[in-house]
Amino acid sequence: MEVPRSDEREYIIPIRAKLVKVQKYRRAGKAIKIVKEFLVRHMKVRDRDLNKIRIDTYLNDFIWTRGIKNPPTKVRVKVFKEGEIVRVELAEAPDRLKFKKAKLENRNKKAAEAGLKKKAPRTPAGAEKKKPEGSVAEPEGNKEEAKEKKAAVIEAGNKMEKAAANQSKHMTKGLGGPKTKPIRKALAK
């Protein structure tokens, strides 16, 4: 059940004035907090709870792009209120983020297509279908078509397995488990 977006507004949030007072190595994180505090004040969030503000991943990327020491001085955002939760998105995404967004949507679309095509249930190699005694033998043309269909099904299954493996490869971070420190044998004597 989706809550309709009742209240939609657009703001330009000034960040520079409050960032001057913060250490350089903490500025991007503080910029995120400044955005949340601004929206808590202007969107009338109950109890001034910062946890009710949801920042879009692209807005987060936009703030962190130039590094932790040098976030943008102001940000133009679109704000939607869904019940008590306030969602924040970038109003004008730069070309770099537009490309990233399109690439991600395309990847999700391909994954959905691969997920919709389901594999045909496999039968054991030794199991064969029994023919009723009164059946007439099939002509050779149908046998060839059946072989071609079987080969096509196997090939499609291989393609889907390859696509699923490729997708899972991009989802996981690495091959092994957690990294451990090397043991210094020279000092262990």
Judge whether residue 65 has pLDDT over 50.
yes
Span of 1-15, 58-72, 124-138 with lowest mean pLDDT: 124-138
Average pLDDT over residues 89-115: 86
Percent with pLDDT over 70 in the chain: 78
- Give the start-to-end residue ranges of the domains of the chain: 7-90
Q: Categorize the per-residue pLDDT at 93 as very low, low, confident or very high, splitting at 50, 70 and 90.
A: confident
| Phi, psi (rounded to 5 degrees) for 33 | -65, -35
Select the more confidently predicted residue: 97 or 63.
63
**pLDDT reported for residue 145:** 87
- pTM of the prediction? 0.55
What span, in angstroms and rounded, lies between the C-alpha atoms of 165 and 47?
A: 47
Select the more confidently predicted residue: 91 or 129.
91
In 3D, which of 63, 70, 86 has the Cα closest to residue 6? 86
**pLDDT reported for residue 175:** 55
What span, in angstroms and rounded, lies between the C-alpha atoms of 47 and 80?
A: 18
Judge whether residue 34 has pLDDT over 90.
yes
Distances (CA, A) of 95 to 68, 78, 98, 99, 134: 21, 18, 5, 6, 70
Select the more confidently predicted residue: 51 or 94.
51
* CATH number of the domain located at residue range(s) 7-90 in this protein: 3.10.440.10
Q: How many C-beta neighbours within 10 Å does residue 32 have?
A: 18
**pLDDT reported for residue 1:** 42
Average pLDDT over residues 145-157: 89
